[in-house]
Chains A and B, each alone.
Chain A
Amino acid sequence: MKEATWRDGKGSDAQMLVVDGARTVSRHVSDLANEVRAGDLVVLNDAATLPALLTGSTASGEQVEARLAAHEQDGTFRAVLFGSGDTSMKTEDRGPAPRVKAGETLTFTIEPTAMSTPMSSVMTWAEVVHVDAAQPRLVSLRFHGAAEPAIFAVGKPVQYAYVSRPLSLFHVTPVFAAEPWAFEPASAGLTLDFATLSRVRAKGAEIALITHAAGLSSLGDPSLDALLPFAELSRVTAETADAVRRTKARGGRVFAIGTTVVRALESASVPRPRVIEPRFGLTSLLVGEERALGVVDVVLTGVHVPGESHHELLTAFQSRDVLAKACDHAERDGYRSHELGDTMLVFAHHLETRERLAHAS
């Protein structure tokens, strides 16, 4: 599948392949309301995106790039270090990352030309608090002072080699975002606009929010990528848990806008009859063929081909056979993959059974 190198036009103009059992049709994200019924619930991830790519030097003066990848339990950040080169290069073509030691301080800066407002403090310091024994590029960083201001002072959004232009925060931040938790954009949310959301509401569906820290999708090294996904910070508030319970009680369906919403809601799902509980903390839950969905009925996500971890998540919704056919369909219709690309709206197969029973009764 062709990679999207940029998004021209509005996110809601992105194509949306509706995969609903036997029905596979091509639509646009702006048509989402046509797939929603009164009583359904659409859940969004309201995480804003951190400028998670920091450049600077080690204590010995070597060039270093740190990509923040995940929150740690103790308020530090897990990060992956890169060496020489820059984001226009494929991560596997970069120079070796400098070896750092626990206790060492890394200094991050930003070129004055890239600084939006002149500030006296254009440096951010982070202490290496932990170096992974097996993977020395994998470290934990503690920022001096409050972390977010330090990160925003010098960081840039994570850039992808296949994206043709520099990404700014406004390219990677959903229009409904608030707290900066995500290390990469939760990209399904980038396709939604308020016109689409108001049509969803006008259909009689509810909208609720979760916050989930989408982590880095690739670390540019197979042995590191094998460790993904890292545990992600996730929050389902009491209000959203209530909205899910209401929806289930009235026979509505839960739409997750993005795989991060699936992970957040399924992490908060508990055995019946409670269905879902409020939750705040890290989650390592892997959703897929082996783990039946407890809460989510439909997911809007990017186009993920077999072999990608997000494709594995979709096997919780539909069989590998249906998904492979859907990918072929998307390929034929010229769909683009990756963060700025097109989408699929995948309905879970358990809905078909449920609807058949409803018709029978």
Chain B
Amino acid sequence: MESQKETFKDTRVLLTGASRGLGEELAIALARRGAKLSLVARSEAELFRVHARIVAEGGSAVAIVADIADKEAVHRIAALGAAAFTAGGARGGVDVLIHNAGTLGPSKLELMLDTDCEDLERAFAVNALGPFRLTKAVLGHMTLVRKGLVVAVSSDAAVNAYPTWGAYGATKAALEHTMRTFAAENEASGVRFLTVDPGEMDTRMHAEAMPDADRTTLTPPRVAAERLVKAMETAMNGTTAFTRAELGGA
């Protein structure tokens, strides 16, 4: 285990999209700071690889194979996240929920006029509806115990309109506004909400979107994960219910 200040010691984190890219690096970064992780992803093999990586370093993690877009899976994810790492008479539950799973929608970037409705629906299911459902399943309890942090990984495309990024941008805008509204409705609850634009990262998703991009201009996910962890620490210790953070470029 790399020595790190244990700023997340015994914090129970439920993280979606944990099997690669930013999610994988975030899982590692949080585990090194003492967090106990419930890792969610669709791909069993990739998820178990990340799980094994954390356990090999002496970290604490459990793997939950599930598709965040699946309505039937949401309560399984929330309940297993809440049940993990409980012992004796201590209260369980999720302390930090991170919506990191995301999809571009279409398999490559397309003009809105060329985007299939089904691809847009799938993007909404993964990027907006799934996080809405999972937030509903986790946030209620957080507001009653009067603490918690909900993080949504968003994008610059949620704010600015870039040609061919429409499906992704529209769904991330929906995600951000959902989080903003949850925050406004629960301002006095003690729960914090953080939406982040991690910048352009050197991930598989980015390579699929822009195969010809100059990778030296992209932020390595490991760097973005470290910045995100800092933003989470700031949000948790801050006084405002809602924060939007831009984590910057390479």
Spell out A's residues near B (CB within 8 Å).
44, 46, 48, 50-51, 116-117, 119-120, 146, 148-149, 152, 168-170, 173-180, 194, 207, 209, 211, 235, 237, 278-281
Q: A48, B78: Cβ atoms under 8 Å? A: yes
Q: A117, B42: Cβ atoms under 8 Å? A: yes
Give the CA-CA distance A146 to B61 in the complex, in Å. Answer: 13
Q: Is the interface of B mostly helix, strand, loop or mixed?
A: helix
Give the CA-CA distance A126 to B67 in the complex, in Å. Answer: 26
* Interface residue stretch chosen among B79-87, B100-108, B226-234: B79-87
* Interface residue stretch chosen among B124-132, B138-146, B172-180, B211-219: B138-146
* Interface residue stretch chosen among B17-25, B89-97, B113-121, B192-200: B89-97
Q: B73, A117: Cβ atoms under 8 Å? A: yes
Q: B91, A116: Cβ atoms under 8 Å? A: no
Q: A120, B93: Cβ atoms under 8 Å? A: no
- How many inter-chain residue pairs (CB < 8 Å) link A and B? 90
Q: Is B149 close to A, CB under 8 A?
A: no
Q: A148, B80: Cβ atoms under 8 Å? A: yes
Q: Is B75 close to A, CB under 8 A?
A: yes
Beyond A50-B79, A168-B72, A235-B91: 16 further Cβ-contacts under 8 Å?
A: A46-B141, A148-B83, A149-B64, A149-B80, A152-B76, A152-B79, A168-B75, A169-B79, A173-B79, A175-B140, A176-B141, A178-B78, A179-B86, A180-B80, A209-B144, A281-B89
Q: B72, A116: Cβ atoms under 8 Å? A: yes
Q: B74, A170: Cβ atoms under 8 Å? A: yes
Q: Is B30 close to A, CB under 8 A?
A: no
Contact A280 to B145, CB < 8 A, known contacts A116-B70, A180-B82: no
Contact A48 to B75, CB < 8 A, known contacts A119-B44, A209-B144: yes
Question: What would 24 A/B residue contacts be, using CB atoms closer than 8 Å?
Answer: A48-B79, A51-B76, A116-B66, A116-B70, A116-B76, A117-B42, A117-B70, A148-B79, A148-B80, A149-B64, A152-B79, A168-B72, A170-B71, A173-B137, A174-B140, A176-B143, A178-B82, A178-B141, A179-B82, A180-B79, A180-B80, A180-B83, A209-B141, A211-B91
Q: B73, A149: Cβ atoms under 8 Å? A: no
Give the CA-CA distance A44 to B79 in the complex, in Å. Answer: 17
Question: Which chain A residues border B93 with CB–CB below 8 Å?
Answer: 178-179
Q: Which one of B64, B136, B144 lies within 8 Å of A44 (CB-CB)?
A: B144
Q: Count B-side interface residues using an 8 Å CB cutoff.
A: 33
Give the CA-CA distance A207 to B80 in the complex, in Å. Answer: 25
Of A119, A169, A278, most buried by chain B (CB within 10 Å of CB) is A169
Give the CA-CA distance A358 to B140 in the complex, in Å. Answer: 37
Question: Which chain A residues border B42 with CB–CB below 8 Å?
Answer: 117
Question: Which chain A residues border B73 with CB–CB below 8 Å?
Answer: 116-117
Give the CA-CA distance A278 to B89 in the complex, in Å. Answer: 9
Contact A207 to B144, CB < 8 A, known contacts A179-B92, A179-B93: yes
- Contact flags (1/0) for B1-42 with A, using CB distance below 8 Å? 000000000000000000000000000000000000000001
Q: Which one of A51, A176, A179, A235 lies within 8 Å of B144 (CB-CB)?
A: A176
Question: Which chain A residues border B136 with CB–CB below 8 Å?
Answer: 175
Give the CA-CA distance A173 to B62 in the complex, in Å. Answer: 23
Question: Which chain B residues border A211 with CB–CB below 8 Å?
Answer: 91
Give the CA-CA distance A207 to B143 in the complex, in Å. Answer: 11
Q: B64, A116: Cβ atoms under 8 Å? A: no
Q: A235, B75: Cβ atoms under 8 Å? A: no
Question: Which chain A residues border B75 with CB–CB below 8 Å?
Answer: 48, 168-170, 173
Q: A176, B140: Cβ atoms under 8 Å? A: yes
Question: Which chain B residues border A48 with CB–CB below 8 Å?
Answer: 75, 78-79, 82
- Shortest Cβ distance from A50 into B: residue: B79
- B78 to chain A minimum Cβ distance, whole angstroms, is 7
Question: Which chain B residues border A46 with CB–CB below 8 Å?
Answer: 141, 144
- Shortest Cβ distance from B136 into A: residue: A175
Q: B140, A194: Cβ atoms under 8 Å? A: yes
Q: Which one of B62, B86, B145 lies within 8 Å of A209 (CB-CB)?
A: B145
Question: Which chain A residues border B70 with CB–CB below 8 Å?
Answer: 116-117
- Shortest Cβ distance from A157 into B: residue: B75
Question: Which chain B residues border A207 with CB–CB below 8 Å?
Answer: 144
Give the CA-CA distance A207 to B78 in the complex, in Å. Answer: 22
- A212 to chain B minimum Cβ distance, whole angstroms, is 13
Question: Which chain A residues border B140 with CB–CB below 8 Å?
Answer: 174-177, 194
Question: Which chain B residues border A173 with CB–CB below 8 Å?
Answer: 75, 79, 137
- Shortest Cβ distance from B70 into A: residue: A116
- A277 to chain B minimum Cβ distance, whole angstroms, is 12
- B138 to chain A minimum Cβ distance, whole angstroms, is 8
- Contact flags (1/0) for B205-242 with A, using CB distance below 8 Å? 00000000000000000000000000000000000000
Q: Is B109 close to A, CB under 8 A?
A: no
Give the CA-CA distance A280 to B144 in the complex, in Å. Answer: 20
Closest 10 CB pairs of A and B: A280-B89, A169-B75, A180-B79, A178-B82, A176-B140, A178-B93, A178-B141, A179-B92, A116-B73, A116-B72
Give the CA-CA distance A237 to B92 in the complex, in Å. Answer: 11
Question: Which chain B residues border A209 with CB–CB below 8 Å?
Answer: 91, 141, 144-145
Question: Which chain A residues border B92 with CB–CB below 8 Å?
Answer: 178-179
Give the CA-CA distance A117 to B19 in the complex, in Å. Answer: 15
Give the CA-CA distance A209 to B93 in the complex, in Å. Answer: 12
Q: B65, A119: Cβ atoms under 8 Å? A: yes
Give the CA-CA distance A211 to B88 in the complex, in Å. Answer: 13
- Shortest Cβ distance from A281 into B: residue: B89
Q: A179, B145: Cβ atoms under 8 Å? A: no
- B231 to chain A minimum Cβ distance, whole angstroms, is 26
